[in-house]
Amino acid sequence: MNPQIEELLGLEAVRSRAHAVLKLAEQGRLNHFNYHADRLEDATDYVSALIKNDFGPDRYHLIPPHGRWQHFEVGGVPRIDNLLTEWDQQGLDTVEKTRRLVDLFFVSVLLDAGAGDFWRYKEPGTGHALNRSEGIAVAALHMFLNGEFAGPGSESKHTVNGEALRNINIDVLSRGLQVTDSNPMVGVGARADIVRKLGESLMNLPDVFGPTGRPGNLVAKKVTDYLIAQSSESGKLDYKDLWNVLQRLLLPIWPSDRTHLEGYPIGDAWPLRVLEQAPGADSKPYSNIQPFHKLTQWLAYSLQVPFSRLLSATWTNTHLGTGLPEYRNGGMLVDLGVLELKPEALQRGLTLSGGALPSFGAGDDEIVEWRAMTVALLDVMHPKISERLGGIELSLPQILEAGSWKAGRQLAAAKRPDTKCSPILNFGDGTLF
C-alpha cells in the first residue's frame, strides 16, 4: 500500500490535518464557515460549567470515558450490571464475561449512527420510550439477549458470531429496532448491510476472531488475548494495536461510495477543498484528504472500557484518539456561535433541505469542513477546560462524555425543542454521522 494512503488510516492524520484546517480558519480562509475565535472562550465556559455542575467539586474522578457502556444505563436501569450478575450466577469467569461485552459492544456501536428525529424504541419490561443513541443501544441489547446475533446452534444466545451476522436481513433488524412506517429510522437498509459485511469480515480474519468470527475473541480464554500478544509493553494494551485491528476489520465493510484511493477503501476520509491551500499541499499525494474514522473511533473508545473494568487492563497511546466529529460536538460549536455558515453555504443548505435548517450530503465539502474544525477545536478546548476546573486533568474521552457531547444535546433541546436535532443536518445513510 502507498505510504501516503497508509498514513490516512492512522489516528495521527486525523488530528494533524484537522489542525491544518484550523490554521487556515485562523487566517479567514475557510470556504464555508466563519470561525469566531473570540467565542471559543464562551463555549469553553459553557462546557466547563456543565461538567462542574454534574461532577464538581470532588467527583471528577467518576466521569467515565466516552463509550457505549453508559448508554445501556439510560433511565437509571443498570442493564450491564444486571447482565453481569446473571452471568455470575451462570458461573462464567471474568474473561468470558468480557468477551460477551465485547460481542455486544461491537454490534451495538456499529448500528449507532444518527437514527433521525422521530424514531423511538419502547423497551420491553420497563416501558421506557428511548430515542437516538441510547435507544439504539437498548434495542441492540435486547436483540443480543434474544440471540439474534448468535445464530442457531450457538452454545449461548448471549454471544455474537460472524455467520449469524452475515445472515442478518432488513426484516430482522427492523423488527428488533421496532421500525415501522409510523416509527421510521434513517438508513435501516444501510445498517443491515453493514452488519452483514461485518459478519463477512469477521469470518475473513480467523487469526484474530477465530473460526467462528466472534468479536469477543479479542479476549482469549487464558487472558493472553490478541491485543496483549501484540503489545511490546508487558501486561499493557497498546491502543495502536486495537486501532490497527479495527481498521483491518472495518475498512472492507463501509459503503462503496466512500473514498477509494488507488483501489483501496479508506473509510471515513474525504476530499476537502480548503486543504488544497495548506502549506506543502502540492508536494504530497492525497494531501487534500481529511480522515475522521468516527465510528471506528467510537468503537475503539467503547471497547477499552470492558477491558479496563473487568480485566483491570491498562492502555498505552490512548492520547492518539481524537474528539469525535459528529453532530453533537459540532452542533455545540455552531449553536454557541464559534462556527457560522457563510451566507452562500447557508443558502445552499437551505435550498437542499427545503426547510428551516440547512442540510448537506455527508461527504459534501461543507460537512467535511465542519467536522475537521470540530476535531481541532475540541483539542483546543481540552486544556482550557482543565484550567477552568482548577487544574483537574480529564482525558479527552471524559471531556466528550461529560462536556461537549452533552452540551451539544442540551443546546439542541433548548434551541429546537420539537426535534432536538443538530443546527446543520446531513443526508446520512445511518452508517457515518
pLDDT single digits (tens) 174-184: 999 999 999 99
Q: What is the DSSP string of 411-425?
A: HHHHH-TTT---SSE
Give the up-direction half-sphere exposure of residue 224: CA atoms within 13 A in the CB hemisphere.
Answer: 2
pLDDT at 222: 39
Asked if residue 148 belongs to a domain, the reply is yes
Does residue 358 share a domain with residue 376? Answer: yes
> Tens digit of pLDDT for each residue in 114-154?
677 789 999 999 999 998 889 999 999 999 999 999 987 78
Tell me the C-alpha to C-alpha distance, in Å, between residue 254 and each of 105, 226, 430.
18, 24, 11
Q: Contact 212/163 with Cβ under 8 angstroms? A: yes
Asked if residue 422 belongs to a domain, the reply is yes
The residue among 223, 242, 277 that closes a domain is: 223
Range of the domain at 212: 68-223
Asked if residue 28 belongs to a domain, the reply is yes
> Tens digit of pLDDT for each residue in 372-428?
999 999 999 999 999 999 999 999 999 999 999 999 999 999 999 998 999 999 886
Asked if residue 240 belongs to a domain, the reply is no
pLDDT at 187: 83
Classified as helix, coil or strand, 318 is helix
> Tens digit of pLDDT for each residue in 46-100?
999 999 999 999 999 999 999 999 999 999 999 999 999 999 999 999 999 999 9
Average pLDDT over residues 147-168: 92
The C-alpha angle 236, 242, 243, rounded to 5 degrees, equals 135
Say which amino acid occupies 12: E
Provide the 8-state DSSP code for 271. E
Q: Is the dihedral of CA 380, 381, 386, 387 positive or negative?
A: positive
Does residue 164 share a domain with residue 116? Answer: yes
Does residue 117 share a domain with residue 53? Answer: no
The C-alpha angle 120, 123, 126, rounded to 5 degrees, equals 130
How many of the other CB atoms lie within 10 Å of CB of 244? 14
Average pLDDT over residues 185-210: 92
Asked if residue 359 belongs to a domain, the reply is yes
Does residue 216 share a domain with residue 292? Answer: no
Domain count, the chain: 2
- pLDDT for 17 beyond 90: yes
Q: Do strands 359-361 and 425-427 pair parallel, antiparallel, or not at all (unpaired)?
A: parallel
Does residue 404 share a domain with residue 371? Answer: yes
Tell which residue, 242, 240, 270, has the closest CA to residue 255.
Answer: 270
> Tens digit of pLDDT for each residue in 198-250?
999 999 999 999 999 999 998 854 334 566 666 555 568 889 999 999 999 99
Distance linking the first and last C-alpha atoms of the chain: 27
> Tens digit of pLDDT for each residue in 312-325?
888 999 999 999 99
Q: What is the distance between the alpha carbons of residues 91 and 326, in angstroms, rounded to a whole number? A: 40
What's the pTM value of the predicted model, to 2 decimals? Answer: 0.93
- pLDDT for 255 beyond 60: yes
Asked if residue 243 belongs to a domain, the reply is no
Classified as helix, coil or strand, 261 is strand
Does residue 179 share a domain with residue 279? Answer: no
